[in-house]
């Protein structure tokens, strides 16, 4: 098994959560912060094993919740459910199509915050909701949709550049002469 891809995905999730919490430039321009974790879940669901999807959902959710106002662990279940749904249908999804990546990123980036909000409301938390929440949800959804094809290009390029492909050798040499007929 190639361990390079899961390590790069987890490292990117860690750095992305840290940058989302510390860099506020995008938040000041558009009034919302784009979450990269749903885009990474889409990539991991289409490119890795279910174990990698689970580890990414658990660790990414814990990292995200530890740096946000969410209760610890509230983001794990929405990330895992989205990853599980995509992983279950990965044979039917056109992984190489940018349009499919965009649509999956849009859906994941829209569903994860809604499921997190539903979980927050079911635990008797009182999140700040208003008309601005719709704008934030739209910015997060579109931003995640735009970043999902970027994740695919980045990780596929890194995987191609940093890992080798074993050459399949045949038992027939090109300079070998084959005699046919009766001798």
Assigned domain for 21 exists: yes
Assigned domain for 135 exists: yes
pLDDT tens per residue across span 45-100:
999 999 999 999 999 999 999 998 889 999 999 999 999 999 999 988 888 999 99
Residue-range definition of the domain harbouring residue 126: 4-159
Assigned domain for 86 exists: yes
Predicted pLDDT of residue 58:
97
Assigned domain for 76 exists: yes
Assigned domain for 165 exists: no
Number of domains present in the structure of the chain:
1
Label residue 183 by pLDDT band (50, 70, 90). low
Distances from the Cα of 65 to the Cαs of 15, 20, 34, 102, in angstroms?
Answer: 14, 12, 15, 26
Assigned domain for 42 exists: yes
Of the CA atoms within 13 Å of residue 18, those in its CB half-sphere come to: 6
Predicted pLDDT of residue 172:
67
pLDDT tens per residue across span 165-179:
777 777 666 676 667
Assigned domain for 178 exists: no
Does residue 10 contact residue 53 with C-beta atoms inside 8 Å?
Answer: no
Of the CA atoms within 13 Å of residue 59, those in its CB half-sphere come to: 19
What CATH number is attached to the domain comprising 16?
A: 1.10.1760
Please enumerate in sequence order all residues whose Cβ is within 8 A of that of 170, keeping only pairs 6 or more positions apart, or say none: none
Class of residue 53 by CB neighbours under 10 A (exposed 0-12, middle 13-18, buried 19+): buried
Assigned domain for 183 exists: no
């Amino acid at each position: 098994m190639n361990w390079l891809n899961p390590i790069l995905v987890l490292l990117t999730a860690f750095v992305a959560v840290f940058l989302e919490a510390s860099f506020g430039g995008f938040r000041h321009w558009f009034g919302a912060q784009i979450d990269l974790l749903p885009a990474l879940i889409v990539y991991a669901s289409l490119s890795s094993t279910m174990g990698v999807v689970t580890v990414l959902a658990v660790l990414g959710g814990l990292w995200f919740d530890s740096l946000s106002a969410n209760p610890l662990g509230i983001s794990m279940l929405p990330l895992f459910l989205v990853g599980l749904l995509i992983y279950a249908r990965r044979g039917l999804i056109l992984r190489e199509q940018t349009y499919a990546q965009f649509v999956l990123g849009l859906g994941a980036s829209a569903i994860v915050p809604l499921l997190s909000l539903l979980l927050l409301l079911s635990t008797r938390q009182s999140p700040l909701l208003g008309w601005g929440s719709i704008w934030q949800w739209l910015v997060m959804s579109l931003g995640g949709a735009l970043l999902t094809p970027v994740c695919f290009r980045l990780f596929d390029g890194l995987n191609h550049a940093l890992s080798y492909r074993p050459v399949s050798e045949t038992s027939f040499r090109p300079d070998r002469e084959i005699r046919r007929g009766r001798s």
